[in-house]
Amino acid sequence: HAGFGHITVAYIASNFVSSDTASYFQGLLHNSTEDYLAGVASWADSVRYTKWGRFSANFHFIDAKDDPPRSCGIVMARDCKADGCVVSAIHNYTTRLLDASLPASERAIAAKFVVHFVGDTHQPLHNEDVARGGNGIHVKFNGVDFNLHHVWDSSIAEKLVGGVRRAPYAEARRWADALTAEINTGKFNASRLDWLQDVDLEDPTATALAWASEANAYVCTKVLPEGPEAIRGQELGSEYYEAAAPVVELQIAKAGYRLAAWLDLIAARTK
């Protein structure tokens, strides 16, 4: 369920947006329930393999051509493909959301892409070129074969919450509410304002690049601490998981909190 993390991020954002923001996006997305963001969070993944959605396939990641674990870092001119990457996609769809001359149907598509790509840019391996973001690194997780990208997209988060069902909305909601409490009064409370330091609606590329660079740095420290070859074929369900799970939790919490701030800025501008 690659969707579980995205749905959780969307529920966290729903918990933090202002009531004006909620009304604005509920109207745009024609969904007046509490699931208006969660319900569209995985849409971008469902269209990327369709004929209509092919143009968006490269928008889910940026292939940082760095050298983990020795050196991590993103260089836009080097790493963002000519037809786009997650950083330029966040810029493009934020701009389209703000463009009142576009039909509402196009602004709704832009909203769905923004909700999804803010999540993708917080996953370290969506900001790394090595083995196509870890897709080519085969590992085991609790005895089952996966690739490293899938472990970071799904397996770690699913283990953290004790497993999820095929439609993971209830589990995502519960996890989102727990992380919301950590942000409001718990272990993330002290850092929540720092998380918004780079947020600047005047410069969506710089904002998204700051988020992507922060996630990319984890590739050198927590994803591939001994390099890509050392991890191939390894069991990642115990010690590796123990070190990785706090990063996944932090990145999901940050993505949701930042998405709320971003949507608040956008909705305030459209008044």
* Least CB distance to ligand DCM at residue 126 (A): 4
- Given a contact cutoff of 8 angstroms between Cβ atoms, the answer to whether 86 and 57 are in contact is no
With CB under 6 A as the contact rule, the residue among 3, 5, 119, 133 that binds ligand DCM is 133
* Least CB distance to ligand DCM at residue 44 (A): 10
Contact code string over 8-47 relative to Zn ion, x by CB under 5 A: -------------------------------------x--
Instruction: Find which of Zn ion, ligand DCM, none residue 90 binds, CB within 5 to 8 Å per kind.
Output: none
Interface residues for Zn ion in 78-117 (CB under 5 A)? none
Q: Residue 61, interface with ligand DCM (CB under 6 A)?
A: yes
Tell me, letter by letter, the H, E, C secondary structure of 39-98.
Answer: HHCCHHHHHCCCCCCHHHHHHHCCCCCCECCCECCCCHHHHCCCCCCHHHHHHHHHHHHC
Q: Residue 258, interface with Zn ion (CB under 5 A)?
A: no
Q: Residue 60, interface with Zn ion (CB under 5 A)?
A: yes
Interface residues for ligand DCM in 138-157 (CB under 6 A)? 149
Ordered DSSP codes for 148-203: HHHIIIIIHHHHHTT---SSTHHHHHHHHHHHHHHHHHSTTGGGTTGGGTT--TT-
Q: Residue 1, interface with Zn ion (CB under 5 A)?
A: no
* Least CB distance to Zn ion at residue 59 (A): 8
Cis peptide before 246 (omega within 30 of 0): no
Question: What is the spatial distance between Cα 117 and Cα 98, in angstroms, rounded to a whole number?
Answer: 17
Instruction: Find which of ligand DCM, Zn ion, none residue 61 binds, CB within 5 to 8 Å per kind.
Output: ligand DCM
Matching residue, tokens 């050196």: 71
Instruction: Find which of Zn ion, ligand DCM, none residue 135 binds, CB within 5 to 8 Å per kind.
Output: ligand DCM
Matching residue, tokens 């024609």: 30
Instruction: Find which of Zn ion, ligand DCM, none residue 249 binds, CB within 5 to 8 Å per kind.
Output: none
- Given a contact cutoff of 8 angstroms between Cβ atoms, the answer to whether 122 and 39 are in contact is no
* Least CB distance to Zn ion at residue 124 (A): 14
With CB under 5 A as the contact rule, the residue among 79, 120, 129, 158 that binds Zn ion is 120
Applying CB under 6 A, the site for ligand DCM has a residue count of 12
Q: Residue 66, interface with ligand DCM (CB under 6 A)?
A: no
- Report CA-CA distances (Å) from 35 to 26, 58, 264: 9, 27, 17
Which residues neighbour 149 within 8 Å (Cβ) at sequence distance 6 or greater? 125, 132, 133, 134, 135, 137
List residues near Zn ion by CB under 5 A: 45, 60, 120
List residues near ligand DCM by CB under 6 A: 60-61, 63, 92, 106, 109, 125-126, 132-133, 135, 149
